[in-house]
C-alpha cells in the first residue's frame, strides 16, 4: 500500500515545467531517488510512525521523564563532547604537520592517517580490546616503565570507549583541518615575528583564528559521528556507560519495545540532523571566506 503511494509520487513531478533536455536527467535520476525513497526514507518515516502510536506522544514523554533514558542521552552527549574535544586537540598539530611540515612529512602522515581509515571499525575495536586488556600491550608497557605496578582496568571503562572513538574519528577530524591549514600563508606568522610578536602571540592572534573554520568543521563532524556510535561502545564499554545507539538496539533486540526504540531512534536522528545543520553552516562560513571547499 505504501509502496504504491511512493510510486505514484515520483512521476507527478515530471510534469512540472522542466527545461529542455530534462526528461533524460529525470530518467537518470529517478532510479536512485526512487530506490532511496523506498529503502531509506520510508524506513525512517516508518520509525516516526511507530514512535507515535495513534498520534500519542507517550513514548517521548516516557523518554524525557524517565531518569534512565535521560541519563543515557546525557551520557551520550558527555562522551561525544569529550571525544570531540580530544579528537580535535590531537588532530590539530597533526594537520599542522601535514600542511606545513614538507613533502616527506605529508606523505608519511597521510599514509598513517589513511591506513586505519580503510580498516573496518569492527576490526579496530577488536584490536583495541587486545591492546587494552589486562595482559595487553598498553598495560605491559606501563608496568615495564614502572609507571604502575599491577595492570589497570582499561577495557569496559569509559576511558576505553573514548580511546577507541578518538582513534576512529581522528581521520575525519584531520582532513577538514588540513584543507583549511594548507591555504594559510605562513608568511603572516613571519611578518608577526618581524613586528616583534612572540611565536605564541602570533599563533593565537593570527594562525589560530585563520584555522577556525577548519576547527569548527572538524569538531562538528566528529561530534555528529560520535553521537551515533554503536560498535565501539558495545565492545569497549560496560553496560553502565551505555550510549543511545546501544539503548536503541536493546529496545529492539531484548526488550522488544519497538515503539520506545523507534522514539529513541527519532531522538537520535533529530540530534544528528541538528549537528549536520551546524556542520553545513560552518562549511558555508568557511566557503564564504573563500578558503577551501572543506569537508570530507
**Footprint (CB under 8 A) of other proteins, residues 18-77:** 18-19, 21-22, 24-26, 28-29, 31-33, 35-37, 39-44, 46-47, 50
Nearest Cα residue to 211 out of 189, 180, 188: 180
Site string for other proteins, 72-111 (x = CB under 8 A): ------------------x--xx-xx---x---x--xx--
Site string for other proteins, 199-218 (x = CB under 8 A): x-------------------
| Residue 151 within binding range of other proteins, rule CB under 8 A | no
Q: Which of 4, 65, 102, 118 binds other proteins (CB under 8 A)?
A: 118
In whole angstroms, give the CA distance from residue 103 to residue 59.
55
Q: Cβ 13 to other proteins, closest distance in Å?
A: 8
In whole angstroms, give the CA distance from residue 77 to residue 105.
35
By CB under 8 A, the count of residues binding other proteins is 78
| Residue 186 within binding range of other proteins, rule CB under 8 A | no
Is the CB of 26 or the CB of 212 nearer to other proteins? Answer: 26
| Residue 136 within binding range of other proteins, rule CB under 8 A | yes
| Residue 276 within binding range of other proteins, rule CB under 8 A | yes
In whole angstroms, give the CA distance from residue 296 to residue 289.
18
283 touches 216 (CB < 8 A): no
| Residue 256 within binding range of other proteins, rule CB under 8 A | no
The residue range among 77-85, 184-192, 211-219, 242-250 that interacts with other proteins, by the rule CB under 8 A, is 242-250
Neighbour tally for 244: CB within 10 Å = 25
| Residue 248 within binding range of other proteins, rule CB under 8 A | yes
Q: Cβ 67 to other proteins, closest distance in Å?
A: 22
232 touches 35 (CB < 8 A): no
Q: Cβ 68 to other proteins, closest distance in Å?
A: 18
| Residue 284 within binding range of other proteins, rule CB under 8 A | no
In whole angstroms, give the CA distance from residue 121 to residue 187.
40
Q: Which of 10, 78, 81, 127 binds other proteins (CB under 8 A)?
A: 127
Dihedral, CA of residue 49, residue 53, residue 58 and residue 64, to nearest 10? -20
Q: Cβ 54 to other proteins, closest distance in Å?
A: 17
The residue range among 13-21, 59-67, 78-86, 146-154 that interacts with other proteins, by the rule CB under 8 A, is 13-21
Signed CA dihedral, 226, 229, 233, 239: sign only:
positive
**Full 3-state SS string of 47-87:** HHHHHCHHHCCHHHHHHHHCHHHHHHHHHHHHHHHHHHHHH
Q: Which of 82, 121, 188, 197 binds other proteins (CB under 8 A)?
A: 121
Q: Which of 6, 10, 60, 124 binds other proteins (CB under 8 A)?
A: 124
The DSSP output letter for 248 is H
| Residue 130 within binding range of other proteins, rule CB under 8 A | yes
Nearest Cα residue to 108 out of 97, 93, 118, 119: 97
| Phi and psi at residue 134, to the nearest 5° | -55, -35
State the Cα angle at 217 between 212 and 218, rounded to 5°.
100
| Residue 269 within binding range of other proteins, rule CB under 8 A | yes
Amino acid at each position: 500500500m505504501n509502496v504504491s503511494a511512493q510510486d505514484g509520487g515520483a512521476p507527478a513531478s515530471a510534469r512540472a515545467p522542466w527545461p529542455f533536455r530534462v526528461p533524460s536527467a529525470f530518467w537518470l535520476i529517478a532510479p536512485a531517488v526512487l530506490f532511496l525513497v523506498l529503502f531509506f526514507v520510508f524506513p525512517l518515516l516508518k520509525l516516526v510512525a511507530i514512535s507515535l502510536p495513534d498520534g500519542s506522544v507517550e513514548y517521548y514523554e516516557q523518554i524525557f521523564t524517565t531518569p534512565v533514558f535521560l541519563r543515557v542521552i546525557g551520557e551520550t552527549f558527555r562522551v561525544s563532547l569529550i571525544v570531540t574535544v580530544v579528537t580535535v586537540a590531537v588532530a590539530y598539530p597533526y594537520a599542522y604537520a601535514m600542511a606545513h611540515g614538507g613533502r616527506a612529512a605529508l606523505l608519511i602522515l597521510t599514509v598513517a592517517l589513511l591506513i586505519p581509515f580503510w580498516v573496518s571499525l569492527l576490526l579496530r575495536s577488536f584490536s583495541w580490546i587486545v591492546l587494552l586488556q589486562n595482559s595487553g600491550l598498553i598495560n605491559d608497557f606501563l608496568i615495564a616503565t614502572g609507571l604502575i605496578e599491577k595492570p589497570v582496568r582499561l577495557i569496559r571503562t569509559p576511558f576505553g570507549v573514548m580511546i577507541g572513538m578518538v582513534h576512529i574519528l581522528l581521520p575525519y577530524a584531520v582532513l577538514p583541518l588540513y584543507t583549511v591549514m594548507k591555504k594559510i600563508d605562513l608568511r603572516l606568522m613571519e611578518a608577526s615575528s618581524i613586528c616583534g610578536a612572540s611565536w605564541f602571540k602570533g599563533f593565537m592572534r593570527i594562525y589560530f583564528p585563520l584555522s577556525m573554520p577548519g576547527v569548527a568543521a572538524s569538531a562538528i563532524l566528529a561530534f555528529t559521528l560520535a553521537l551515533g556510535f554503536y560498535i565501539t561502545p558495545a565492545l569497549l564499554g560496560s553496560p553502565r556507560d551505555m550510549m543511545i545507539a546501544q539503548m536503541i538496539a536493546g529496545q529492539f533486540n531484548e526488550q522488544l519495545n519497538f515503539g520506545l526504540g523507534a522514539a529513541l531512534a527519532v531522538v537520535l536522528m533529530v540530534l544528528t540532523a541538528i549537528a549536520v545543520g551546524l556542520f553545513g553552516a560552518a562549511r558555508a562560513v568557511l566557503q564564504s571566506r573563500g578558503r577551501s571547499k572543506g569537508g570530507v
